[in-house]
Structure formats: C-alpha cells, structure tokens
Chains A and B, each alone.
Chain A
Amino acid sequence: MNKIVSRTELSDLVVRLEVEAPMIAKARKPGHFVILKLGAKGERIPLTISSADTQKGTITLVVQRVGLTSNKLYNMQVGEEITDLLGPLGRATHIENFGTVLCAGGGVGIAPLLPIVEGMKKAGNKVISVLAARSKNLIMLEDEIRRHSDEVVIMTDDGSYGEKGLITVGVEKIIQREKVDLCVTIGPAVMMKFVSLLTKKYDVPTVASLNTIMVDGTGMCGGCRVSVGGKTKFVCVDGPEFDAHQVNFDEMIMRLGTYKEEEQEEMKKLHQK
C-alpha cells in the first residue's frame, strides 16, 4: 500500500514523490489534500495533492523538507511505503471560466498550484502564472506550469532567475497592465498575506489555499482553525481555500508557530541519528 513508485529531486530542499494510491487518484480534484503518517509513532501531516494519474493509480506529492516528517519523506526512496495515507480531503477548488486568472505561487506552493493552473486553463480562462522563490534552484515545475499558462512570470529574491524581487512586484505589474478577474495564491503564509493585501488594494477577488497544523484532517480536532471574516473556520473541512481578503493571516502565522520549540527538539534528534 502507498508505495513510492518514483522520486525526483526538484532541488536540494524539495522532492517530488509519485505514490501508489488508486482510490485517491480516482477521487481527487484540484485543491484536495491528503493526510499522511510515517511509521507507528509518526505524526499526521497534511500535504496538498500536486497531480494524479488515474491510469497508473498514483498521486504526486511535492515535499519541501522543513520539519520532522517532511525530512523523513524527503529521504524516502522508490519502493518504500507511506504507512498511512488518507484522502482526498478538503473542498476542491472552485473552477469555472472567470475570464483572466492570475495564479501566484511561492516556493513549494507552486506544486499544489499546478492542478489549479491546469484546471483553470481547461475551463477556458486566460491563465497568467507568477512563480516566485528565493533563488533559481527553488523555482519548480516551471515546464508543467508553462504548459497550461498563457504567460509565466518568474520572480526570485536574489535575481538568479527571471526578475529580481518579491512575488508582489510581479503580481502588481500584471494587475496594472490588464484586468484580472481572479487571483489564486498558494505559498508561505507571509507571502499569501502580502499578495492578499496587494490584490485587496486593487479590488481583485483572491483565493488563498491555507496549510495549517492538522491532526486528523476530518474536522475532528480543530487544530487547523483560522479566522475568516471574524469567524472561526476549520481549514480541513471548510477549506483549505478561502477568500484571502477575509483571512486573518497574522493569527494564522502565529498559530503555525505553536510547536516551534518541540519541532526544533525533534529536528536535533533527527540530525543526531
């Protein structure tokens, strides 16, 4: 069950894993995520599904090693199995012909953005993708994104590829240049916060896909709760996508730090092994 059938390093931080999961592959839609757990004593973490192949019965996950489980995942090899894999979870992305859709993905957020770019294009939208990362080696899946986009803008913090500057610079240029009907943003919480502030200024409706701490992923624990429009929502069952202009990103960023100390301890242990 859940065997890794292919593994591609997209950078020294990011790996793409193709995992055998025929039922999930068949049922998933853009925007859905899975919960996985490694080993008997593993933790449960959410990961957005990047793509799926119903013929082969596989799903693709793109993992950036940041914490304990993502580091373990990064080190897994072809033939190894993910102990527990549950999905697809969350509400699927609302896809229709909006007109012009701007897809803004940062870092590892580019991976879950891919099926949305694909879906939006298929629905007849003009799709403009803005991809951003710290430097060239962290810009991933560029070819795949290009395949389904009318235009791709690359932004890097250090100017090693595309244009130098933050994602907001690229997004703002597009919005000033032409009418954008919808912006979809996925990436680090801070990035989504600033994209959201920017698009709010220009009154461009924006959807953000949130990645919070979760345990079960089915609505049971409430660890993933965020404030949206002043109301508490559960990312796992009410999301993961929300109207970005209503999301309290500062609270979300604060809550993401809940287990920072514990995580650092675990990482120390992992490196000692």
Chain B
Amino acid sequence: MTREESAMTKEEQIAALRAQTWREDLRKSRKTKERTDIPRVEMNEQDPEIRSHNHLEVNLGLTAEQARLEAARCLDCANPTCILGCPVEIQIPSFVKNIERGDFLEAARVLKETSALPAVCGRVCPQEKQCEAQCIYTLKLGKPSVAIGHLERFAADYERESGRISVPELAPKNGKKVAVVGSGPAGLSFAGDMAKYGYEVMVFEALHEIGGVLKYGIPEFRLPNSVVDVEIDNLRQMGVQFMTNCIVGRTITIDELKEQGYCGIFVGSGAGLPNFMNIPGENLIHILSSNEYLTRVNLMDAANPESDTPVAMGKCVAVIGGGNTAMDSVRTAKRLGAERAIIVYRRSEEEMPARVEEVKHAKEEGIEFLTLHNPLEYYGDERGRVKQMRLQKMELGQPDDSGRRRPVPIPGAEVVIDVDQVIVSVGVSPNPLIPNSVEGLEISRWGTIVVDDNMRSSIPAIYAGGDIVRGGATVILAMGDGRKAAASMHAQLSGKE
C-alpha cells in the first residue's frame, strides 16, 4: 500500500484499485453472461481410499488454468461485498483479477498486504461462512460463489513454489520494541503488521515450535507444516524475531519485559485448556483430549517410529464432538489404522460446527457418524483401559441460546458400544497461565482476557486477541484480532490516539 492509498477511506481505496486501466480492460474482455455461465471449479483431491491411509494433503490445489478460469467468474463488482465478509479485509477482487490476468505473484502480494498467512487461510478459513457467503453469486445470482478460498490458496502456493517470495514493504524502523505472547495465528498476524509499521518485534512461544495451533492442532493432511514454516520464514525476513521455550509471566515477567524496553505487549496465548465432560470413567486409560491426541501426532510426530513420544493407535476410536477439531481427530485416527473411527455428536449433522468440507471429506474416508448420541459413562478393563461406552440417544427440541435446536435425551434410549480409544473434543477454555500470572489484568468469568473495541486490556500496555479473548474461535478471527490490535497499538504508541 502506498502512502497516498493509506490516506484514503476503504471505499476510495477499493474504487481506485478497481479504476486501474488493466482492471477496466479485463472487465470489458468478457461479457457478464460468459462469466456467470462458467461452472464453479472443483478442488482437486487425493482419492479418499488412498488418502485415508496417508498423511499427505487431501486438497491438491488448482492448476493455473483452473485458477484463471475460476477467477474469470468474478464480476469485479463496484461494491465488492465479499470484502465485508473477510475478518482481515483482504482486497479480494484485486487479487482475484490479478489471477485472471495471469499475474499470480502480484495476486500473492495483494494478499500479503492484509494477511500474514495467506497459504494458511486459503486452507483452513471457513470461506463459505465469510467472503464466499457475501459473494454476489451467493447473494443475488443463486449460484455457487466464486471459489475465493481456493484462489487464495492458489496464489499463495504459486508464490511459495516459485521461490520468488516478496517481502511486504516496511516502514522505516521507529526504534520501538514490542513483545508478542504466543506464536499462533493471532500473534503472527500482529507481529507481521507491527513489523510493517516499523517496530522491532519479538515473539515469545511456550512450545519448542513456532506456529501454535497451526502446528500442534491442525493435521498435516489439512495444513502441512512446511506451508506454515514458509509463512513464518516470511515474517523472519521482515525482521520478526522468535524465542521458543519461553512463557511470559513465568520464564520472564511483564515487568522484566518493560525493563528491557518493550513498550507494548500483545497476548495471543490461545485456548489452552481442553474441556472434559466430567462423566464417570472419563479418566480411564486411552481417553484423551483432542488437544493431547493431535499434539502427540502433529507436534511430537508420535506416529513416526523414530519419535520418542508414544501414542496409542486404537482400532475402534470414538471422537466426541462435532467441530473441526473433532473432524481432525477422527480422520487422524483413521489414518493411524483405526478400523472404526466414529464421530459421536449430541445434535444432528445440521447443527455441526465443523466446516462442510471437513464433514464431506470425513464421510468419503469412511468415518462413521453417530449423531444425536451423547456419552454417559465409560467402562474399563482390568488394567483401567477403556473398553466400552454407554451413550444416551437424543432428539432435537426447541432452539437454545445459540439458535440451534437443543438436544434432549430420549428417556430410556441408551446404547453400549465397544471402543478402545476415546478422544474428547468438546471445546477448550482459555489458557490460565497468563491471566493467572499478570496482576491487574481484568479477566471475565469464563477466564478470557477482557478487552475494549481496540483489543486493549485493562492494563494500557497490554493488548490481547484470538482465543484468549474469544474463548475458542477460528484461525482467521484470531488473525483479524491481531491485525486490529496492531493498528490500535500503533496508534497509541505513535501518539495518534
């Protein structure tokens, strides 16, 4: 973004980009009808039978031809509503039109102006609920939206594979230091923006790897670690520094950070604490949280015989929950050799919070869905290993606070199922480490850090975002928070507030 552009309003910026000569020529090059007649591209995928036995990425990406044709579907609207659906306000038509004209590197550059992690977002964002839900095809034409997510992934992958990765333009160094707590999507997004504003940025990470949930949580078959590493390298190129094995509030205190000259701190420590259901038998052997299961397999590489970390590979695995993490867990279990891998969810498929794509992929891979069932109790063998679970059958009642129909037990309808591993994936609570170790920080009764509209906490130098504020959301919302916090902290520290 040039200086002149940053002085404009968002609308003026969008209009200025749209008025570029090449954009006008491109718009005129095809009739609207020609564009709307093109069917939406289908993502190339690994065969379900093959992929359910390997850890390689399920989605293979689009070819350049597929991407350019898909990009041609975009009508380059004067009022691009898609941008409103994006938590980090990517200039969507601008990057899409660059793909259409064949300038893929420029498309990637546009993405990186607003998103620190485009290759990640192109893979894990719920676009169908965000940008694509606001696409004119969805809103007005009654047709499948432009495949914005697939195109985002294409541009980011193209740039990475080309080896010609651009580093975003950085403002001159302003000599100020800021600290980031946690290297997940919120922290990385914040770090990238602050580096662009000219700050010296240090990211503190508790684990031995950078990336937070992108590394320990999301499996290789959905988001390869190599993709995350390239995005982190990109931040390093921008001057962002990282320190692993360091917990702010423990290894180093907030006061020590201030003494070392850090004038602002952003906390993106995530939703660390897995929830359990507190039902009988839940502490039996081989009942574990999805966090533990996925951390063992993803971060610790436990399924690899070379790794020192063990993981049990159940033959009959039940995963409790209906979110993306539950889908990740159950599909991982299948890949580790489970003969039966079952989703147990208390509502119906319609209420499942998981992305439609994940549910579809899971089904293709032979995952069983036991919806409208809720665990009541687990039974163990003589050594304390889980062997069975008792489930309550449910039906849907009146809508609850979330607007979804509340699951209600059907009296007397129970079933007992044999299992040798259970993965509990019923949500997470905020990590208590930071809230507990920073005096004066206002904490909600759910354990989240309380922030104002600018992501600022009750302590003026401390901002926060992502799951430590939201209590369990998505990668892109966390990134949006990081971006917003960076803008507000920058305004505060540069005296513009």
Question: Which positions in A face B, CB cutoff 8 Å?
Answer: 23-24, 27, 37-39, 41-44, 68-69, 83-89, 215-216, 218-223, 225-227, 231-232, 234, 237, 251, 254-255, 257-259, 262-263, 266
Q: Are A219 and B432 closer than 8 Å at their CB atoms?
A: yes
Nearest-neighbour CB distance to chain A for B55, whole angstroms, equals 16
Residues of B310-337 contacting chain A, CB below 8 A: 310, 312
A222 to B273, CA, bound (A): 7
Nearest CB in chain A to that of B286: its residue: A258
Contact of A221 among B286, B295, B433 (CB under 8 A): B295
Chain A residue numbers with a CB within 8 Å of B384 are 251, 254-255, 257
Interface residues on B, range: 35 or more
- The answer to whether B307 and A41 touch across the interface, beta carbons within 8 angstroms, is yes
Q: Closest 6 A-B residue pairs measured CB to CB?
A: A262-B310, A221-B292, A254-B384, A43-B308, A84-B208, A43-B309
Contact A23 B252, CB 8 Å, known A41-B307, A251-B283, A259-B310: yes
Which residues of chain B are near A38, meaning CB under 8 Å?
308
B206 within 8 Å of A by Cβ? yes
Q: How many whole Å from A76's CB to the nearest CB in chain B? A: 15
Is the CB–CB distance between A232 and B278 below 8 Å? yes
Verify A255–B295 contact, CB threshold 8 A: no
- Taking a contact as CB atoms under 8 Å apart, the answer to whether A234 and B300 are in contact is no
Partner of A258, one of B285, B291, B300, B436: B285
Within 8 A of A (CB), among B12-26: none
Label chain A's interface by main secondary structure.
mixed
Given contacts A43-B300, A232-B278, contact A223 B292 (CB under 8 A): yes
Across-interface contacts of B300 in A (CB, < 8 A): 43-44, 215
For window 348-383 of chain B, which residues contact chain A by CB distance below 8 Å? 383
Which among A216, A226, A262, A263 has the highest number of chain B CB atoms within 10 Å? A216
- Taking the closest CB of chain A, its distance from the CB of B176, in whole angstroms, is 23
Which residues of chain B come closer than 8 Å to A257, judged between CB atoms? 285, 383-384
Interface centre among B251, B272, B431 (most CB of A within 10 A): B251
How far does the alpha carbon of A68 sit from the alpha carbon of B310 in the complex, in Å? 11
Residue numbers in B under 8 Å from A232 (CB-CB) = 276, 278, 282-283
Q: Tell me which of B273, B283, B312, B433 has the highest count of chain A C-beta atoms within 10 A of its own C-beta.
A: B283
Chain A residues with CB under 8 A of B301:
41
How many angstroms between the C-alpha atoms of A215 and B208 in the bound complex? 12
Q: Looking at the complex, which one of A37, A41, A218, A262 makes contact with B247 (CB distance below 8 Å)?
A: A218
Interchain CB contact under 8 A, A27 and B289: no
Assess whether B252 is in contact with A218, with CB atoms less than 8 Å apart.
no
13 residue pairs A–B, Cβ–Cβ below 8 Å = A41-B308, A42-B309, A43-B309, A44-B309, A69-B308, A86-B206, A219-B272, A220-B216, A222-B273, A222-B292, A225-B283, A237-B273, A259-B312
CB pair B272 A218 closer than 8 Å? yes
Judging by beta carbons under 8 Å apart, are B289 and A87 in contact? Answer: no
B470 within 8 A of A: no
In contact, A42 and B291 (Cβ under 8 angstroms)? no
Our count of residue pairs bridging A and B at CB distance below 8 angstroms stands at 124
Smallest distance from the beta carbon of B484 to chain A beta carbons, Å?
Answer: 25
Does B483 lie at the interface of the complex (its beta carbon under 8 Å from any beta carbon of A)? no
Contacting residue for B306 out of A41, A237, A255, CB 8 A: A41
Contacts of A255 in B (CB 8 A): 283, 285, 384
CB distance from A80 to the nearest CB of B (A): 17
B293 to chain A, nearest CB (A): 9
Bound complex: CA A232 to CA B276 (Å): 9
* B288 in contact (CB, < 8 A): yes
Query: Contact: A220 with B291, CB < 8 Å?
Result: yes
In whole angstroms, how far apart are the Cα atoms of A233 and B365 in the complex?
36
By a CB distance below 8 angstroms, the chain B residues around A85 are 245
Q: Give CA–CA (A223, B431) in the complex, Å.
A: 15
Closest Cβ–Cβ distance, residue A38 to chain B (whole Å): 8
A72 to chain B: closest residue by CB: B308
Q: Determine whether the beta carbon of B245 is less than 8 Å from that of A84.
A: yes
* B79 at the A interface (CB under 8 A): no
A234-B309 in contact (CB<8A) = no
User: In the complex, A263→B310 CA distance in Å?
Assistant: 8
Residues of A within 8 A of B291 (CB): 220-222
CB distance from A123 to the nearest CB of B (A): 23
Asked if residues B295 and A216 are in contact (CB atoms below 8 Å), the reply is yes
Please encode chain B, from 202 to 227, with 1 for each CB lying within 8 Å of some chain A CB and 0 for all others.
00001110000000100000000000
| A232–B280 alpha-carbon span in the complex (Å) | 11
Q: Which residues on the B side are within 8 Å of A222 (C-beta)? A: 273-274, 276, 288-289, 291-292
Whole-angstrom distance between the alpha carbons of A69 and B308 in the complex?
Answer: 8
List B contacts of A69 (CB < 8 A).
Answer: 308
A residues within 8 A CB of B252? Answer: 23, 27
- Identify the closest chain A residue to B213 (Cβ): A220
